[in-house]
Structure 1
Amino acid sequence: MKVCVIGAGPSGLTTIKQLLDESHDVTCFDANESVGGIWYRGGDDGQQMKAYDNMMLTVSMKMMSFSDFIFKDGRKFTDHKGYLRYLEEYSDEFGLTRHIKFNSLVKEVIRESDGSWIVKVKVGDKRVSSHRFEAVAICSGPFKTANTEISEIDGFTGEVVHSKSYRNSKDFEGKKVLAIGLAESGADMLREVSNVAQKCVVSIRSHTFLIPRLIYGKYSTDTLTTRSHHYEMWNRASKIKFQMKSYSQDSWALRNIFLGVVNAYGLASIPANFLSRKIMGDKKNNDPGKNNMGQDGDPSKIDYDTKNEKEVVDFINKWNKKSHHEKGNWSQKIIFSKNVSFVPNILNNKLVVKDCGIGRVDGGTVYFNDSTSEKFDKILLCTGFKKDFSLLSNVEIKDNNVRNLYKHAFHPDHNGRLAMIGFVRPISGGIPICSEMQARYFALLCSNKINLPEDVGDRIEKEKDWEEQWMCLSPNHTESMPSQIMFLDSIAREIGCHYPFHKLITKPRLLVRLWFYSFNQSCYRMIGPHHHYDEAVEDIMTEEVPLHDYGFMLTMIALSFMPSFVHPKNLDFQYGVKN
């Protein structure tokens, strides 16, 4: 099939790769001069959404890699240059660049009456040209049109800057700065700006749920991302019924058989692993003097330049309590910020938090709703991006909400020939593997090897309802996904790469790894289309787990046996200090 891919960032690159695996004829258009999307910093990018100078990933490279090109050097963090190198290596490995037309800006996508698609493209200074395709994947992502229409600051006479054009703190030195909004990137910007500004205030309407990048002073926090934890938090003990078919969701009986088997294997593995470590000794895959962010391990840290101190951890726990309106948050219902590096600057009074809202602006003076006012030179908007699907001229996405697409990707009216890939953001985890699984689904749809479910409309509504209930404290973030693992497992079942339970029964060590240990996307290459079983299993079984906490495993086993009516739904999820 002749397929168009729009965008050569992470989502576009993996989409090209998965389509080529299915022998499709692929043409990708990208406005940049090279691969990488927002990670590519070439040419005049001052007004484009790009990675800022000191950007550091908020999840490890392992979680940001594709299942067909796994990062092998542990769960380390890297800066934007390191991740761009990974994308370039991925492109080189599979010969993707020859399918990409650079300096090509897509202006419009039109659905024709015969089911084909016209893609209008402007190359450099040339006239717009039209190209016909049988299917289209839009992979340009949600970071397109900045949300700058903030009515509360109308009339502000100072300079207003959106985070999309932020590169470093140089222009904020010695200024009085008001930041509006806070997310993962905003946390970095606030730290940098508050270090050099005369004064820095951040105005927020809600408290995101904060998660440090490091746990126990050294390891990536996503080491604790496990299936057992996700299925426990967002499914088993919940009154909100999970709507996607995945691990052991077929029936009550099968679910309990599965839990009985996996918990028995888990219990048996604890003494065996304990003895093995005593005899063989712990393996180390990191420089003992460095944490996984590459910083000195002494003093102990939980994030970039953020010491692992009781004062910091207590602040995070209090903040997270506010995120759920002082209620328990065993299963979180709000977006996460996997970056707490701004917290020390709040504690040392470099950064002031205002959660009361802005009343009005008069010239350079901002009046807050707590009856205080402050004069500012600059406003930094960390207010995100609008939902923009304007490329589609005669195709409507209902309410501009990707939850009205199947798996956040497939329009129910176009037989799987239109895909929006990369428009899903797991509250914990990475977008690239989500894009890859959507792309694998899309490639198989284009090959007519699978079809969208006959009841796709009903499934969309049920899955949308499940997501909205779990994301009720972040209602405007319609791209957010509560559980990356459960979302990916559900796609894996439909495309045939979900390793079946009846085969796992005979592989207890593998089953324990898949259920209780750190999530590893190699699991989606053990079976099904374009699998590489031996390589995938080796990666899963040999990945170092220096943090593996047997107490955590025992907790998950105990909770799985606990009746849902006595389950600790209202416990606070907190981070303790441990060096």
Structure 2
Amino acid sequence: MRVCVVGAGASGLPAVKACLEEGLDVVCFEKTSQVGGLWNYRPEQKDGATVMETTVVNTSKEMMAYSDFPPPEHFANFMHHSKVNEYLQAYADKFDLLSKIRFNTPVKRISRHPNGGYRIQLFNGSEEHFDKLMLCTGHHAQPYHPQLRDIQKFQGKVMHAYEYRNMKGFEDKNVVLLGIGNSALDIAVDIAKIAKSVTISTRRGTWIFNRVAAGGMPYDTIFFTRYYKWLMGKIPWTVANDFMEHKIQQRMDHDTYGLRPNHSQRFFATQLHPTPPGTIFFQQHPTVNDALANLICSGYVTIAEDVDTFTENTVVVKNGREFDCDIFITCTGYTFGFPFVDEDIIQIKNHETQLYKYVFPH
């Protein structure tokens, strides 16, 4: 049985390994010259996902490791992207995966083969037939661009976080970022000391986790344990919510900083609870950042309401405040999709696909 794997990143590599362990004939197509996917930092590349120059992973090495290949002990708990890529390269070397990967070979189109299986058409003009297909291309390749009122009036630079590589070009600029996810905060922290001003516009706010928790331990080694999962399943969700809010508010008062999420009404509109008791901690994925509070306190970063409109050189937020802006960065996430795969194989609607265990129907 021939198996096609598309992408040699963090999910593609173990996919190839799993196929080899089952004695399958596997071929992996990778459009770049190295393994690693987005962890393979490519500052000059405009097409394809890649991390920022200063990216440090938000998950500790123990919690993100492959179960049969732990990272070296001397690697930092939270690895710089170069170390993550080094780890992935070592994984590929250890299990002899490179011989199954065709580098610099982007896939042009995937369609069903009339005799069953899949037809893989490559940009080099060749075509191959496979019995099975595994898509391991991630979801950071197609940026989502929101519809913004009067954006056409704005005369400054507009870009997506997808395009950001490093702080070069942001010196003495007024920068406004739309969104408050990990990318937005990473960029804000990166440029705060060199930009003229940095403003983060947020619609709903967010909870901020620090990488280092009580006792100096990585936060995820405390919260993501079997005991913690058991405990959260035993106590009422209202108690769990209050407990988590109390813990995170001890580190930084989100009300004082204008960061407390305000999405409880939307949550309860879809639930069977008669009265909203307050913000639901577990509804929104928290953001991980260690430096934001200090930068807000020292005036390097300002938190503002959601964007309302634009003028030629300013951004106006919902309460009427106006911020000078030379560069506007949308940090609004990504669109989930596979543009090179025929729709009869997989359909994407509203950034979702209905697949049982994410397996294509035959």
Query: Which category describes the TM-score, using the shorter chain as reference length?
Result: 0.7 to 0.9
Q: Out of 105-114 and 39-48, give the one that drifted further.
A: 39-48
Tell me, yes or no, if the aligned pair for 1:118 and 1:133 is still in contact at 8 Å. Answer: yes
Where do 5+ consecutive residues of structure 1 fail to align? 240-309, 415-579
Q: What is aligned with 1:146?
A: 143
Distance of aligned partners of 1:186 and 1:365 in 2 relative to their CA distance in 1, 3 Å threshold:
closer
- Report whether the alignment pairs 1:378 with 2:334: no
Correspondence for 1:474: none
The answer as to whether partners of 2:41 and 2:82 remain within 8 angstroms in 1 is no
Number of the residue aligned with 1:364: 313
Equivalent AA in structure 2 for residue 208 of structure 1: T
**Percent of aligned positions with the same letter in both sequences?**
27
Q: 2:355 aligns to what?
A: 405
**Structure 1 Cα separation of the partners of residues 319 and 10 of structure 2:** 43
1:103 offset after TM fit, Å? 0.6
Work out the number of aligned pairs and report it: 338
Contact 1:3–1:27 (Cα < 8 Å) also in 2 = yes
The alpha-carbon distance between structure 1 residues 177 and 47, as it changes in their structure 2 partners (threshold 3 A), is farther
| Residue in structure 2 matched with residue 218 of structure 1 by the alignment | 216
Distance change >3 Å, CA 22–CA 106, structure 1 → 2: same
What corresponds to 1:232 in structure 2?
231
CA distance in structure 1 between the partners assigned to 2:35 and 2:177 by the alignment: 31
Q: Does 1:93 align with 2:43?
A: no
Compare CA radii of gyration and give the structure with the larger one.
Answer: 1
Letter in 2 for 1:11: S
Deviation string 1:62-100 (CA, Å, 9 cap, x unpaired) is: 112111212352881110011111000000000001100
CA contact (8 A) 2:199 2:302 kept: yes
TM-score (norm 1): 0.54
Q: Deviations over 1:33-56 (max 9, x none)?
A: 011111112584245421111111
Counterpart CA distance in 2 for 1:318 and 1:372 is 17
Which residue does the alignment assign to 1:253? Answer: none
SS of the equivalent of 1:332 reads helix
Instruction: Give how far 1:4 is off.
Output: 0.3
Distance of 2:199 and 2:122 partners within structure 1: 43
The CA distance in 1 between the partners of 2:183 and 2:61, in whole Å, is 17
- Asked if 1:313 is matched to 2:311, the reply is no
Instruction: Report matched runs for 1:198-209 at 5 Å.
Output: 198-209=196-207
Aligned mates of 1:121, 1:367 — CA distance in 2: 46
Residues 398 and 329 of structure 1: CA distance in aligned 2, closer, same or farther (over 3 Å): same
Provide the residue aligned with 1:252 in structure 2: none
Distance 1:140 1:11 in 2: 8
Aligned to 2:337: 388
- Measure the CA separation in 1 of the matches of 2:237 and 2:282: 12
Q: Which sections of structure 2, spanning at least 5 residues, go unmatched?
A: 239-248, 265-275
Match of 1:440 in 2: none
In the superposition, relative to structure 1, how do residues 40 and 151 fare at CA in structure 2: closer, same or farther (>3 Å)?
Answer: same
Give, in whole Å, the separation in 1 of the partners of 2:310 and 2:281: 38
- Aligned residues: CA RMSD: 2.7
| Structure 1 counterpart of 2:35, one-letter code | V
TM-score (norm 2): 0.85
Secondary structure of the residue aligned to 1:95 is coil
1:350 aligns with 2:289: no
Tell me the SS of whatever aligns to 1:110. strand
Letter in 2 for 1:132: H
Counterparts of residues 564-575 of structure 1 (less than 5 Å): none
Task: Please give the alpha-carbon distance, in whole angstroms, between the structure 2 residues aligned to 1:55 and 1:376.
Answer: 25
Q: Does 1:54 align with 2:54?
A: yes
- Is the CA contact (8 Å cut-off) linking 1:177 and 1:378 kept in structure 2? yes
Alignment of 1:49-448 (within 5 A): 49-71=49-71, 73=73, 76-123=77-124, 128-152=125-149, 153-216=151-214, 218-224=216-222, 225-233=224-232, 237=236, 313-315=252-254, 321-323=260-262, 325=264, 327-328=277-278, 332-355=282-305, 357-393=306-342, 394-399=344-349, 401-402=351-352, 404-407=354-357, 409-411=358-360, 413-414=361-362
* Pair 1:234–1:72, CA change in 2 (3 A): farther
Distance 1:173 1:312 in 2: 31
